[in-house]
Amino acid sequence: MQTSLRALLLLIGLGTANGSLGQSNDDWIQLFNGTDLDNWQVKFTGQPLGVNLNDTFRVEDGLLTVSYENWNDFNGEFGHLFYDEVFSHYLLRVEYRFIGEQVSNGPGWAFRNNGMMLHSQDPRSMTVDQEFPVSIESQLLGGNGSDPRTTSNVCTPGTNMVMDGELITRHCTNSNSDTFHGDQWVTAEMEIRGSDILIHRINGRIVFELQDIQLDPTDSDAQALIASGAEIELKEGYVALQAESHPTQFRVIELLPLNSD
C-alpha cells in the first residue's frame, strides 16, 4: 500500500475513533448486551457447535465472563464464542481484564491470554477437533506482575499478513504496547477495512498496523476453505473471543460499521 494512502486511512481511522465522520452513538452495535449470550455461538475443540463446555462462557454481574470454575484441569479444549453476523469494515472496541488463576494444565503461553478473532471462518465450517478458527487474531494479553508483555499482538491461525510491504508468515508478531499487570481494565480497539488494513489501538494509542489479510494456502484448515471456494484475500468474516485456560471478563464489546468507500 502506498504511503500516502496508508496515511490517509490512518487519519480516517483516528477520525472514526473520535466520532468525527458523522456517526452517532446510535450507530454502535452492542455485541454484548450485558444480560445474556443471545446472538452468540459456542465452539470448543472436541465438541460440536453449540456445546458450552462446563458453562465456561457466561454472564456474571453484567460481565461476559470466561470462567473455569467448573474445570478440574485443561486438556486442549480451546473455546471460541462467535457473534452470529458477518462484518467487513468496522471499528471493534472491547474493554477486558484478566482475573483469578489459570486452570490446571493450561499452556504456559495461555497465561492471561485471550483474543478477538477477526474475519473468522463460519464456526459451522470448523471440524470437531479444530483448535482455532481460520482468522486474524488480535491477541489480548496481561502481564505477570514484573516482566514486560505487550498486548494487541497479532497471531495468524490459517492466515498471513503484510507489514511494510513484506509478507509475514510467522504465527505471532508483537505490538509496541505497554504491559498491563494485575486485574485492571484495558480498552482495545481494532479498526479493520476489508482485507486492506487493520489498526490496533490500546487505550487510544496506535500499537500495531498491518495490511493485506489473506488465507495461508499452506495451512490445512485454510486449504479446506479454499477448496470450498473461498478467496485468498480475506475481506470479511465473523468476530469471536476466546477461552484458552485463563479466566477473563469483558464489560464492553461494541462494533461501529464503517463505510467501505
C-alpha cell read off for 35: 444480560
Assess if CATH 2.60.120.560 describes domain 27-257: yes
SS3 156: coil
How far, in Å, CA of 45 to CA of 48, rounded?
A: 8
Task: Please identify which residue in the block is written with the cell numbers 483474543.
Answer: 115
User: What would the grid cell of residue 56 be?
Assistant: 465456561
pTM over 0.75: yes
Asked if 142 and 181 touch (Cβ cutoff 8 Å), the reply is yes
What does DSSP say about strands 248-257 and 29-30: parallel, antiparallel, or unpaired?
antiparallel
Q: Which helix (H) or strand (E) holds 10?
A: helix 3-17
CA distance 196 to 210: 8
Round to whole Å and give the CA distance between 142 and 155: 16
Kindly tell me the sign of the dihedral angle through the C-alpha atoms of 256, 84, 222, 136: positive
Rounded to 5°, angle at Cα 43 from 131 and 258: 95
Per-residue pLDDT at 35? 97
Domain locations in the chain as residue ranges: 27-257
Q: What is the pLDDT of residue 24?
A: 56
Asked whether 69 and 101 are in contact (CB, 8 A), the reply is no
pLDDT-flagged residues of the chain (< 70)? 1-25, 261
State the pLDDT at residue 17: 47
42 close to 36: Cβ distance less than 8 angstroms? no
Question: How far apart are alpha carbons 211 and 131 in whole angstroms?
Answer: 25
pLDDT digits over 135-181, tens only?
Answer: 999 999 999 999 999 999 999 999 999 999 999 999 999 999 999 99
CB atoms within 10 A of CB 158: 24
